[in-house]
Structure 1
Amino acid sequence: MTPAVNTLGKYQIVREIARSNDIVWEAVDPELGRRVAIKELNLPEGVTEAQRQERVQRFLREAKAAGRLSHPNIVTIHEVGVDNGRHYIVMEYLEGENLRERLQRQGAIPLQEAVDITLQVLAALDHALRMGVMHRDIKPENFHLLPDGLVKLTDFGIARIVFEPNITIDGQIFGTPSYMSPEQIEGKEIDPRTDLFSVGVVLYEMLTGRKPFTGDSIVTITYNIMHKEPTPPPGVPYGIERVLMRAMAKRPIDRYGSAREMAEELKRALEPGALVSLAPPPVIAAPPPLASPSPASLPPQLQPVPDPLPSGGYTSASSASLPPQPPKPPPPLPPPREPWLSPRESEAMKQMLLVVLLGVFIVLLAFGINTAYERYAELRRMEALSTQMSDGVKLAQAGNYREALARFTNVYQHAKSPEVRAAAARNAAVCLIHLGDEALQGGRPDLALYHYQAALEYDPQSAAARQRIDQVSRLYSGSVEIPPPTAPPPASRSGGSAEAPPRPRGDEQMAMELYMRGLEAQQRGDYIGAVDLWQRAIQAAPGSDVARLAQESINQMTAR
């Protein structure tokens, strides 16, 4: 018996939702009165029997892969069936839109929302892998966004169940080119880190509104995936940038080992105290071109002079028709005027005027040269600060927080832009927090507290610094003495009785500035200058934590 056109199995078809390789219907389960989505295998005309069998196997494998998964972020499979040769999968009906539709409608997605979407997808992938399933086709079309904020991972059409034979034809590549990993493009054996590469690509697109790997053809796109590094996205926190770059690493071994590991790193990147990724301040490449003179500024065009008549008069439109008039006698010449200056006085005046004009020219020339030099010097200063900020971020990325701190401190002290100063201060605070954490792990709560307090001076809004100060104070209160940052260390006290009075704060600040300048000198290769600055820091605030840092740096330098 042939089923009705508006039914598929027991389900009543309501409408067609989408059609590509397969057809997706909205339908109703009459027994439960439940809305469902039905995905029907769509076989084009003229396929061979081998091709038909391969398509059917892949279709059923999708049902098998997704059907064994039960997770809030994965579309639920209800049933698999065949109706008069029509293969179909029944799944939950999803309201809302997919991520591709959202990107086309809105463009880039706010940071917090993009991270939330990514975390939900990573949770789905983590569950899928624990159930032995790899998705292998991560792309915005397969992220379904529900109105309540829930994200569903859909379309396991080319998913692979781990340890099952691969039914894909040898050498055939499945996936969407812009989101495929290098090993997918090469047709190599893949593992779960392939899906993480694709997740990184989608997150990059959500944050920037564009794909990290583009081209005018599939060949160009795949070449860029294989050989080009994506441009770091501007305006995102450093931690997010680091997650993106690691997820999109060319070699699987350089990526995250699991979806859970990537999710944890992504969460940490948004914690208070995360390093700010700052684009360098704009540098003027060349002075603006001189404006072309406007018509109003041009000298007026001379009007044509009428041709003189032989008689000495002029022709015009009004006088051409009048009869010729007899010439008038010329007016009498005025009597000669006495010269204002004698020839000698006139010559002296000319020389004086020449000297004045020459002086004015020299002054203007000097002013122009000075202005041009000041402009050039300002450009070089801006370039140097931009380089220092970039170097600081790179050093912080490498975990070298002490030297990164020196860069950010220098930018903070010399930048004129309030925005650049604020960013440098936040970055300096982050480095100080990391140095405090290192000191705390090394059993130096006093030094850790000093760093946390210094971080709070750079960034008074730093919740991370405040939390650490409170935690250290509570943890060591009454058991381990924590001297204030300006107090001498316990070893410098005589007889363990009365404490020395705290040093003035100005000495401590001066010592810190000298210490930072010493780090800068060390980076330039001026080791003698670095040691001299560190010794001056010790003299500025002897017995302080800064002095101890300076002495440690001197010891490390001489040990080399």
Structure 2
Amino acid sequence: MRLVLGRYELLERIGRGGMADVFRAHDRSLERDVALKMMRPEFAGDAEFVERFHREAEAGAIDHPNIVRVLDSGASPDGQFIAMELVNGGTLRDLMRASGRVDQYAAAEIAAGIADGLEAAHIRGVLHRDLKPENVLLDTESRPKIADFGIARLAAATAITKAGELLGTPQYLAPEQMSGDVIDERADVYALGVILHEMLTGQQPTGGTTPSEIVARRLRSDPRPPARLVALAPVMNALVLRALARDPARRFRRAADLRDALLQVRRPAAPVRAGPWVVRLRLPSVAPLVAALAVLTASIRDAANRVDRVAALRDALPTIRLPAPPRMPVVAMPRPSLAPVAAGVASWRARHGAPQRRSAAALMALLALVAAFIGGTLAFARPTELRPLAVATSAPAPTAAMLANTSSPAPSTSAEPTAEPIAVPILAPAAAATPAPTAAATPAPVVATEGDPAGTILAFYELISGHDYASALGMWSDRMRAIYPPQTNIWGRFDRTRSIVARSASVTSANPGSAAVAVDLIETLSDGTIRHWVGSWYLVRSGPGWLLDQPGLRPA
């Protein structure tokens, strides 16, 4: 069992970075598990690495829910260490590998959390400068936490690295960061835009397979709109393109502005499922029917009374006896016309009507009126509508990926960017991207290294081991660049190199204008192959320093 300062009990190694290992450890003092980052012994004597380690501890002291919190730091007999909160949800890279493409609304929520953490760091004057999916951890609730401020820099402080040195992972660097210009918070905004584009589409915005090709495309080409690759909300497509603008003046000025824009991207409300329609029929009131029956009854009674009166009149008529007319002599007279009698009868009928026939017609008309009233009431009854019930639905939160390291991931067989803060790894080409012809790297300015010639050789191979090819090219003389084209003799030559360690470097001859240095080198390739080189380097003086002018190396 290994203890650090008699307090931190190391349980297992969960990550390995460029200059440190990360362990799951148990804090015996506070009885909790932590992530303990230990600097490897071979870097303990390098002042620049020690300073970067301390700077990461200082940046992690920012108290924000979207930044990995630093609990303790210092030096121990085992080396420099940083104790941090243990984040168990894996990295954002793990989530992207597991899902391929992240839903745009889940991606907007994750990116808004990252932007909020960046804003907290920027307010305190800290720039991350190496933001990438491997440096974003996810807790068990899929909340993002920014980690690895190893190459962060105070915006108002002097940079530790030499002028012209390219730090960070090329796939996530802003154009002004690649060209060596002064950078501000908008460089971190650009890196977050690249991460957002990759979450949505699974591809880099400008493409490229080698570091030199990535740099050339990013400096010359505009990013591909993500909406051409996947279906996106217009507001999401617009804010990604604004974050990836080549001109910093066209980007979001602050991370908070990007965060506010992302929070406006909301999942549309779920459609309400229509329920069954219910029709309720109202029974008609019986009052109209009762009134109709009353009218019908009165009409029938009136008709019966009229019939009785007519019958009584008919019974009385035969009892009237007229006196016998006097016998008159028979005189031949013309037969009288019956027309006046018929007219009188018609006049009487017109005044009194035919009792029986008129009563029957009135009864039939009344029954027809009642039937029409009842049928109309049933036919024109209005149904009562019931409103469908609204059903609220919610989308499941994205599942966090499996546990991974809490700092920089260990090397894998895939061609993903490595976690080395100053490394320039090769990124595998995107599935749908068509590689463009290889473009020449941007020429680096000639920078003569001060000090002795042997120190210049050691500095050159340190830059090569860190894949900082632009700064390494700055240590070549003009003659060296003309004889050995940098595109093939630096970028192409060392893309598969993991590290070069100088076992010895000694000056064998020197004069005011030139010098020769004997070297013994061990080169380790990315597949683990080891090469041994011996020979000499010839240098020329440039001002107060030296430039590499001619190699003379051979395999040992």
Q: Name the TM-score, length of structure 1 as normaliser.
A: 0.46
Task: Find the structure with the greater CA-based Rg.
Answer: 2
Report the structure, 1 or 2, having the larger helix content: 1
Report the structure, 1 or 2, having the larger strand content: 2
